[in-house]
Amino acid sequence: MKTLSGPSIKAKNQDNPKNLVILMHGIGADGNDLIGLASNWSHNMPDTEFLSPNAPFTCNMSGTGYQWFGFVDKDLVRIRAEVSQVALILNNFIDDQLKIRNLNDTNLALVGFSQGAMLALHVGLRRKKKCAGIVGYSGMLLDPDNLQNEVESKPPIVLVHGDIDPVITPLSLPKAETKLKNLEIPVETHMREGLGHGIDAEGVEIGKTFLHKNLQS
C-alpha cells in the first residue's frame, strides 16, 4: 500500500503535541500548497502539529502535481472505487500518525481544499471515532446519496466557498449544508463574496477560529 509524506510544522513542544491537523491539497498540487495555512494557524495553536502530505497518485489531468483520485470524467462508479482506495490509504496514515504521537481522534482535525475537502469530508464522517473537526474549502460532498448509510461519526464541520467559484459550483455549499443538517451533523457555512476557487484571508481566519475552538488547548 502507498504511504504518504509531505511538509509539516512541528508543535512548540515537538515531543508531546496535544493535537494533530492533517491538511489535504487539491488536484494537481502538493503538500506545499496548504502548509502556509499551518504557518498562519500555528501561532495560535502552539501545541498542535500540522502535516500536509502529498496525495498518493500523480495527477492525470496536468501531468504535474498529485491527486487523491481521478476526476477526468464524472463516472461515479469509478470515482467511488478510487475514493474507497485512497480513503484506506489516508485512514492508515491517520491511524499511524496518531499512534506515533499517542493521540486519538479527539485530538485530530482534517482540513482540505477542493478535492482535498471532498476527501476530508468523506473520510472524517466515516471514521468510527469522532474527530475534533473538519474544515472544508471550495469542496463538496462526494456521494451524498449514500452518506446516510455510511456515516459513522458526526464531528463539527465548517465549510467555506467562493460565490464565483468556476471550478466547483457554489451551489455545492448549500447542498452540503442541507444534507449534513438533515443527518444532524453540526455544520456552519460561509459563502465568500467575490471569491473564486481559492482561500481568502477571511477564510483563513474562519478556519483558525474553528480549529482553536474545537481542538484541545
Predicted local distance difference test score (pLDDT) of residue 41:
95
Predicted local distance difference test score (pLDDT) of residue 103:
96
Q: Are 196 and 166 in contact (CB under 8 A)?
A: yes
145 phi/psi in degrees, rounded to 5: -65, -30
Along the 217 residues of the chain, how does pLDDT read in single tens digits?
Answer: 688 999 999 998 777 899 999 999 999 899 999 999 999 999 889 999 999 999 988 887 666 788 888 877 677 788 888 898 999 999 999 999 999 999 999 999 999 999 999 999 999 999 999 999 999 999 999 989 899 999 999 999 999 999 999 999 999 999 999 999 999 999 999 999 999 999 999 999 999 999 999 997 6
Predicted local distance difference test score (pLDDT) of residue 60:
75
Q: Are 183 and 153 in contact (CB under 8 A)?
A: no
Per-residue b or e along 57-79, where b marks 16 or more CB atoms closer than 10 Å to that residue's CB:
bebeeeeebbbbbbbeeeeeeeb
Average pLDDT of every residue of the chain: 93
159 phi/psi in degrees, rounded to 5: -120, 135
Dump strand ranges (E) for the chain: 8-9, 19-24, 48-51, 57-58, 66-67, 108-113, 133-137, 157-162, 187-192
Beta bridge partners of 133: 109
Beta bridge partners of 48: 19
Predicted local distance difference test score (pLDDT) of residue 169:
96
Homologous superfamily assigned to 8-214: Alpha/Beta hydrolase fold, catalytic domain (3.40.50.1820)
Predicted local distance difference test score (pLDDT) of residue 79:
82
